[in-house]
Amino acid sequence: MRMLLADQGQSWKEEAVTLDAWGQGTLKASCLFGQLPKFQDGDLILYQSNAILRHLGRSFGLYGKDQQEAALVDMVNDGLEDFIRHLGQQLFRNYEEGKAQYLKELPGHLKPFETLLAQNKSGQSFIVGGQISFADYRLLDLLLNQERLFPGYLNDFPLLSAYVARLRARPKLKAFLDSPEHVNRPISSRLKI
CA distance 127 to 133: 8
Which 8-state DSSP code applies to residue 155? T
85-121: per-residue pLDDT in tens? 887 777 777 777 778 888 888 999 999 999 999 999 9
21-67: per-residue pLDDT in tens? 888 888 888 888 888 899 999 999 999 999 999 999 999 999 999 99
Q: What is the pLDDT of residue 183?
A: 85
Between 34-38, 72-76, 159-163, the lowest mean confidence (pLDDT) is in 34-38
3-class state of residue 65 by DSSP: coil
Tally DSSP H helices, then E strands, for the chain: 10, 2
The yes-or-no verdict on residue 190 having pLDDT over 70 is no
Q: What is the pLDDT of residue 192?
A: 47
Q: Encode burial over 98-125: b for 16+ CB neighbours within 10 A, e otherwise.
A: beeebeeebeebbeebbebbeebeebeb
Between 113-122, 146-155, 156-165, the lowest mean confidence (pLDDT) is in 146-155
pTM of the model: 0.91
